[in-house]
Amino acid sequence: MISRSLKQLSQALAAKEISSVELSSLFLDRIARLNPEINAFITVDREKTLAMAAAADQRLAAGTGGALTGIPIAQKDIFCAEGWTTTCGSKMLANFVAPYDATVIAKMHGEAGLVSLGKTNMDEFAMGSSNESSHFGPVKNPWDRARVPGGSSGGSAAAIAARLAPAATGTDTGGSIRQPAALCNLTGLKPTYGVVSRYGMIAYASSLDQGGPMAGSAEDCALLLNAMAGFDVRDSTSLDRPAEDYTRDLEQPLAGLRIGLPREFFAAGCDAGVMAAVQEAIREYERLGATIVDVSLPNSHLSVPAYYVIAPAEASSNLSRFDGVRYGYRAPDYGSLDDMYAKTRAQGFGGEVKRRILIGTYVLSHGYYDAYYLQAQRIRRLIADDFTAAFASCDVILGPTSPSTAFRLGEKSTDPVQMYLSDIYTVAVNLAGLPGMSIPCGFADGLPVGLQLIGNYFAEARLLNVAHRYQQVTDWHLRRPAGIA
């Protein structure tokens, strides 16, 4: 039962093969047994979960449930959920019990009838690519417990990979859904900016942040995106567009599909094992009827530098709200108001968060704003224009998600620049605001390799179709770590 897809679980619930309470208990029991080692969850609340499951069972019995009613999933601890401790991986919010629901949570708990198993571990304030910056300790990759699961949605990824949950929410500001999905052999989707509401999703870099699904397959991601997406009046950048059924094109044949390979993603800098798996996936797509097109993203090498100006700039503004006044941590001893702010923030934030706040403060300060912040925004436009030009000759862009497989715990945690470069293939997508996916495409030295698919704006259904058809002829996404059923 724990290995089944969301669609199969939905069928089992509909056929009364199992109840939501029973299904949720199965996963809660696995969490109780395996989480002490994996550390994928920060908060679990058995009573709350089982109450939601019981309510879902009533809806299922009354015939008022939807496609996902009664299915338990894990929630990244960046989403506020009323009555749940919502930490964002930080000491600053270690005791913060959210007084309201994020829109994503409200939609899932409400209309969709999904059941939350708990809140998953993450890099502090979503700043990281390894989950090692969490105040609640690193998460272990179920494929090799000496390695990182990726980040920042590392807890969500590890939870699914260890089958502590059949699916999870994630958020992606620079690759935080796609990179952990790649490192843990999962399917993850970052939607077009503005498709999923950011209300109640604790802000890191507001012009880049986007929530999305992480699961075992493209089909499951499509089902989850149906429950997550939609216009929200409470998010000023939410897009007011007609609702979509993201499963509608899953089965479309790929004959005639034009896949663009950006030559910059196939140059030096990617591990040979990763590249070999990606090349094999390209051959599989050719067998599925796709045509391969050479494209160029000439400014992609500037995406990491531009990202590490824009994201910290926005973070320094967003995180100014954590001042020890309205919520969260306050230093125990202080003198003046300024002293209270400075001590609260020194003690409440971890090293990586402080670094990014300092970078952001600097690039926004008088005399440096033009040289750094505006220059980064101009490069952001060059990067977005590169994608527009590439999509003139192809339907989707394909390449590796991450230049390496899962690295060892501690391997990059003392060198911020090395850590930042793990996002080299993912951040450009956030800067442009495009949808992107990672799907499993093989293994290198026993560790999962992720294939990145990038679509044009609002091409989520097409991306899911391209991923789904590949998953119909390959079984990489069905492989499990040793010892996990």
Partner 1 sequence: MSLTTEQVLRIAHLARIEVSEPEALTTQAHLNGIFALIEQMQAVDTRGIEPMAHAQDLGQRLRDDVVSEPDRRAAFQAVAPETEAGLYLVPKVIE
What lies within 8 Å, CB to CB, of 236 at 6+ separation is none
Identify which of residues 18 and 97 has a Cβ nearer to partner 1 in the complex: 97
Q: Do residues 128 and 156 lie in contact, with contact meaning Cβ atoms separated by under 8 Å?
A: no
Instruction: State the number of binding residues for partner 1 (CB under 8 A).
Output: 71
- Positions in 341-380 near partner 1 (CB under 8 A): 341-343, 345-346, 349, 354-355, 357-359, 361-362, 365, 371-372, 374-380
Q: Do residues 418 and 412 lie in contact, with contact meaning Cβ atoms separated by under 8 Å?
A: yes
- Positions in 216-235 near partner 1 (CB under 8 A): 233
Q: Is 217 a catalytic residue?
A: no
| Choice from 4, 7, 46, 330 touching partner 1 (CB under 8 A) | 330
CA dist., res. 291 & res. 242, Å (int)? 31
- Positions in 396-415 near partner 1 (CB under 8 A): 415
Per CB under 8 A, does 436 bind partner 1? Answer: no
Q: Do residues 60 and 105 lie in contact, with contact meaning Cβ atoms separated by under 8 Å?
A: no
- Backbone conformation region of residue 395, classed left if phi is above 0, alpha if psi is from -120 to 50, else beta: alpha
Q: Is 76 a catalytic residue?
A: yes
Per CB under 8 A, does 389 bind partner 1? Answer: no
Token look-up 């920042």 returns: 152
- Positions in 110-129 near partner 1 (CB under 8 A): none
CA angle 237-422-198, nearest 5°? 15
- Positions in 185-214 near partner 1 (CB under 8 A): 192-194, 207
What lies within 8 Å, CB to CB, of 401 at 6+ separation is 175, 178, 179, 181, 182, 425, 426, 438, 450, 451, 452
Q: Is 7 a catalytic residue?
A: no
Identify which of residues 297 and 447 has a Cβ nearer to partner 1 in the complex: 297
Alpha-carbon Rg of the chain, whole angstroms? Answer: 21
Q: Do residues 89 and 351 lie in contact, with contact meaning Cβ atoms separated by under 8 Å?
A: no
Catalytic residue among 24, 153, 176, 303: 176
- Positions in 276-305 near partner 1 (CB under 8 A): 299, 301-302, 304-305
CA dist., res. 195 & res. 296, Å (int)? 27
Identify which of residues 222 and 353 has a Cβ nearer to partner 1 in the complex: 353
Give the interface segment with partner 1, choosing from 61-69, 253-261, 316-324, 404-412 (CB under 8 A). Answer: 316-324
| Choice from 15, 63, 236, 482 touching partner 1 (CB under 8 A) | 236
| Choice from 8, 237, 279, 474 touching partner 1 (CB under 8 A) | 237
Per CB under 8 A, does 387 bind partner 1? Answer: no
Q: Do residues 131 and 154 lie in contact, with contact meaning Cβ atoms separated by under 8 Å?
A: yes
Amino acid identity, position 70: G
Identify which of residues 142 and 328 has a Cβ nearer to partner 1 in the complex: 328
DSSP assigned state of 109? I
Query: Minimal distance in Å, beta carbon 375 to partner 1?
Result: 5
Per CB under 8 A, does 417 bind partner 1? Answer: yes
Catalytic residue among 5, 19, 20, 76: 76
| Choice from 151, 170, 174, 324 touching partner 1 (CB under 8 A) | 324
Residues designated catalytic: 76, 152, 176
